[in-house]
A and B are shown apart, each in its own frame.
Chain A
Amino acid sequence: MMLAFDETLQRVTAQQLPTRPPAPTPPSRASAVLPVRRSGILIATFAVLGALWLGLTAPAVSPVAGPTPVAPAVVQDAVPPAITRPDTVVQPPVLPAGPGAPGRRGRR
């Protein structure tokens, strides 16, 4: 294993006691840095557009309306009785069936 890092070890030995790690080397080419920024900007743009799309197309009224407790009495009072109470529903008149009934044609 020493062989693989002889170069590093020799450097340490030659310099005796390095007091600082080597200074960061700037990227050799601008293109090494630019793609990161470009991809970052692209992703950030998509994130903002995506958020706008998701937020603006989201339901304005929540379909999850369950948890609010509603007392049964309130329901009865709030809804027209003619619809909810079977005994108050106005039924159409029941016409007698058979010969002579209105609307029925037959021999007299």
Chain B
Amino acid sequence: MTSPSSSDLGQRWPRAAHRGLRLRPDDVLLTVAVGAVLAVGWPAVNMLHGAQPPALMVLLAHVTGMLAGYGVVVLVGLMSRTPALERGIGADRLSRWHSVGGRAVVVLVVLHAFAATEAWAQGRQEDLLLAAWHVLRLPWLISASLGTCALLLVAAVSIRAARRRVSYEAWHAVHLLVYVGVALGFVHQLAGPDLAGHRLLQVLWALLYTGVFGLVLEHRVVTPLRMAGRHRMRVAAVVPEGPGVVSIIVEGRDLQELHAESGQFFRWRFLTPDLWVTAHPFSLSAPPTATRLRLTVKTLGDGSTKLQSLEPGTWVLAEGPYGAMTADRRTRHNVLLFAGGVGITPMRALFETLPLAPGQDLLLLYRARNDLDVLFRDELDHLAAARGARVRYLVGDIGPLTPELLRQHVPDLPDRDVYLCASPGLSSAVRASLLQAGVRPEQLHEERFAF
């Protein structure tokens, strides 16, 4: 390994040519924001230009209703697995946006229900309970209320405290209620006072919904089925890697057509009676080949426990590849890979394939609780020797990963790209230290393996 010369520092690595459309995060956020302004602006302008100035509750009911209806469709769109979004933004960030947006939409829906009922009560001189009863008896309000209950249930199981007690499979199954909730509330939106009578707006609003559900159908149903028919993936072997950790080798044909890259992940659905219902996200732990993919799984819940005893020959449906933590995110000559625990899986694959020209340095810092938890040690040592890269194992009680400690290991840290994959707690701590140590956000590429 050669230390980088000062002239190399700060020099940018040319980005690889993009494969397929990638939507930039800023552009997507701007588009969503413009849509939100239109969704809020239409009822507000419409009502303020009316014969009488609207009461505050009426205005609040209209604005929150339109914004909630728009927000729901944006949330579904973010999770539609559309490749342009997945490639450009990354599943990890999309999931965080979805989480933040979900909270906002739930608040908007509750506010809308309250404001509409309160406005009715004020207008009819009724108490709130009687007004609620009258509002519920309006056409399509029962179904909209049931849809709201479905959304609230999903929100309840997504609260952090509840999510810890719920298995991934249960959480995933409850999340499917979102589609039911959205469908139940759709006609109420279309017949709402802000859209009714405006044919063009009604058609455009419906197009927003049918378009997004079309994306979901294409990318979450049709594409996985097509891939299953085309690539015919099956489990070839299940290999123990460590305590509670196995690698699953999946064989298939023409897998190069998937255009999967190191650092990416698939959502795997193993077709056994116990496992077929839920798709589990797991990173590739080795570079993909034309006939084989490898994923590595640690026992964390019911589903991943059952994966340990998969039989060779089990059929596999795979959605993907997803994730933007790939080589073409690189902006610098030198790279630091930081892995924590089972977060080594995508790093193991990247460690083998990240482009490394003479004079460039590739360093892998691998944090593990103890020696038994260190996975792929032989492979990593072998690759390091073969590629002229470096690997350091941070095992046992080494204290907090402070900026100073990281700088001790990586003196030129601010001038490196950093790829990070670890548990949420460790990721947060390392991210904070990296930023304090001078790594800029655009140099940090990460994937958090939490649902």
Contacts and interface: CB of A to CB of B under 8 A. Distances in A.
A1 B327 contact: no
Interface stretch (B160-168, B174-182, B254-262): B254-262
A102 interface: no
A24 B222 contact: no
Interface in B174-199: 187-188, 190-193, 195-197, 199
A24 to B, nearest CB: 5
Given A1-B379, A20-B16, A60-B197, A55 B191 contact: no
A91 interface: no
B378 interface: yes
A1 B239 contact: yes
A59 to B, nearest CB: 4
A46 B222 CA distance: 14
Interface stretch (B273-281, B297-305, B307-315, B351-359): B351-359
Given A62-B196, A68-B123, A32 B210 contact: no
Contact of B206 (A8, A35, A55, A62): A55
B257 A4 contact: no
B189 to A, nearest CB: 9
A13 interface: yes
A62 B193 contact: yes
User: Which of A21, A25, A55, A70 has its CB near the most chain B CB atoms (within 10 A)?
Assistant: A55
B122 A69 contact: yes
Contact of B292 (A4, A25, A62): A4
B214 A19 contact: no
B134 A61 contact: no
B119 to A, nearest CB: 4
Contacts of A93: none
Contact of A64 (B193, B222, B378, B386): B193
Contact of B223 (A17, A36, A69): A36
Interface string B331-359: 00000000000000000000011011110
B96 interface: no
A16 B230 CA distance: 34
Contact of A25 (B196, B239, B256): B256
Contact of A48 (B58, B187, B210, B249): B210
Contacts of A28: 254, 257
A12 B386 contact: yes
What's the interface size class on A, roughly? 35 or more
B386 A9 contact: yes
Interface string B197-236: 1010011111101110110011000110010001000000
B206 A64 contact: no
Given A24-B19, A63-B140, A17 B358 contact: yes
A21 B327 CA distance: 8
B286 A5 contact: yes
A70 B123 contact: yes
Nearest to B387: A17
B57 interface: yes
Interface of B: 16, 19, 54-55, 57-58, 61-62, 116, 119-120, 122-125, 134-135, 138-141, 187-188, 190-193, 195-197, 199, 202-207, 209-211, 213-214, 217-218, 222-223, 226, 230, 237, 239, 241, 247, 249, 254, 256-257, 259, 261-262, 286-287, 289-290, 292, 294, 327, 352-353, 355-358, 376, 378-379, 382-383, 386-388
Interface of A: 1-2, 4-5, 7-9, 12-13, 16-21, 24-25, 27-28, 32, 35-36, 39-40, 43-44, 46-48, 50-52, 54-56, 58-70, 72
